[in-house]
A and B are shown apart, each in its own frame.
Chain A
């Protein structure tokens, strides 16, 4: 709980002067960004602009370059100068990540996948023997009901459609009880109807639970419609940071022009 309160007091995410290169090729250059608690922020930009990399850095799934700055989430350091924090696992339990390709474990049931949201706070032996805390089991059932998948709880994740799998991934985040959710192109692989549904669930997370939402999108209309703030990346640099209203077509053209 202390994590949450601290997060409420200050920024949910603070990135200071972070760069990232892969094999000599620079992906992100000196990014500094503050996201306040409860904000709903879209990151837009052409493909290859570094959107996904930025989210992975925030989740501590990648290291920033050695000579660059640090990333703090909910008041706890994620990484500093290319070193992942030793307490990363503890902080990660509060950060939900949603991936473009859903990343559910295909052969496991949807319910088990949702329960994996509790993996960070549940000892391995409890997970393996199925002695899950009743509250977690209830949370998983509730989460599946919220995303409208109760009827599919015992179905293998791989047998579900893309839209259903992505809603399953949202259920996993709900069980996790994340305070910050990083969604990496969550609707890029979905049809229009599923896309609308997934976006509604994400907005709902933010509005009713106060979850800070950082979401990368390549559809500008979705970013404008659903987010409070838009951050645009181009060639690894922030080229725009403002309200959806001020992100007009002229700005968009500049961002997406080659």
Chain B
């Protein structure tokens, strides 16, 4: 038994060493250039909030991108979730729908943002579309998993009254999952506020655009101001979402 354990430890060590070399990790660099780092760090202080109106406006845009992206994703995720649940549709339907959702999730929203910028131009709309596509994939999968855990018996009871398949789903399946779905949507909204600032960095609108400008312009005092606003926004969103999720649970 212990032999197997040593083997696993050895393999893990080998794996990390292999990755370490490939990733060109040089811890000494942190100390060798300590002076530079300290100087660089000092430039961030104190934060410069002179342009706070711009930051606030762009932050609101970021939250708006997250709201719209999540909203559009939910519209797609409801049919996705139902059409990829084993207990609702046969495998000839759920298999292709699942692969489609995999594709939506497999590509990072940054990449989608760059693609949508080509399609619809720079600005928040590209960000909304990028978030909508990836979130539709994630939410669809979560929705389907919720549907697969429902109690099938009430659905059977509705079927026994001679109801149509659609009635079964609307009155038997949906009431059992809406609470969990709502909680997943809020959770994804939280994540989307964070992602919305990142998609901004490739030009898809919001605070990310400002952030990339100040970093590239070596305006570190402004950078720290933007980061503080971003941290505040994300924290507020998380608190809000946690509060609502607790209320509906």
Contacts and interface: CB of A to CB of B under 8 A. Distances in A.
Contact of B156 (A93, A103, A117): A103
Interface stretch (B12-20, B172-180, B237-245): B172-180
A85 to B, nearest CB: 12
B157 A103 contact: yes
Given A116-B171, A124-B167, A104 B160 contact: no
Contact of B163 (A96, A119, A169): A119
Nearest to A59: B160
Nearest to A101: B153
A171 interface: no
Residues of A in contact with B, size category? 20 to 34
A90 interface: yes
B249 interface: no
A198 to B, nearest CB: 16
A50 B62 CA distance: 61
Given A116-B158, A116-B171, A105 B176 contact: yes
A141 B154 CA distance: 21
Contacts of B50: none
Chain B CB within 10 A, most for which of A59, A103, A107, A121? A103
Contacts of B172: 105
Interface in A115-131: 116-121, 124, 127-128
Chain B CB within 10 A, most for which of A99, A119, A128? A119
A170 B167 CA distance: 20
A124 B170 contact: yes
A61 interface: yes
A15 interface: no
A120 B160 CA distance: 9
Contacts of A90: 162
Contact of A106 (B154, B156, B160, B163): B154
B159 interface: yes
Nearest to B169: A124
A97 B153 CA distance: 12
Say what secondary structure dominates the interface of chain A.
Answer: helix
Chain A CB within 10 A, most for which of B161, B163, B172? B161
Contacts of A37: none
Given A91-B162, A119-B162, A108 B171 contact: yes
B154 A103 contact: yes
A172 interface: yes
Contacts of A119: 158, 161-164, 167, 171
B131 to A, nearest CB: 29
Contact of B170 (A93, A120, A128): A128
B171 A120 contact: no
Contacts of B162: 88-95, 119-121
Contact of A127 (B170, B176, B179): B170
Nearest to B160: A97
Contact of B159 (A61, A106, A117, A176): A61
A93 B170 CA distance: 18
B166 interface: yes
Contacts of B154: 103-106
Contacts of B159: 61, 92
Contacts of B153: 99, 101, 103
A202 B156 CA distance: 21
A96 B159 CA distance: 11
A107 B178 CA distance: 10
A176 B161 contact: yes
A95 B160 CA distance: 8
A124 B166 contact: yes
Nearest to A112: B171
Chain A CB within 10 A, most for which of B153, B158, B162? B162
A43 B224 CA distance: 77
Interface in B173-224: 175-176, 178-179
14 contacts: A88-B162, A95-B162, A97-B157, A97-B161, A99-B156, A104-B154, A105-B176, A106-B175, A107-B175, A116-B161, A116-B171, A121-B162, A172-B157, A172-B161
Q: 9 nearest interchain CB pairs?
A: A120-B162, A92-B162, A119-B163, A93-B162, A103-B157, A97-B160, A107-B175, A105-B154, A103-B153
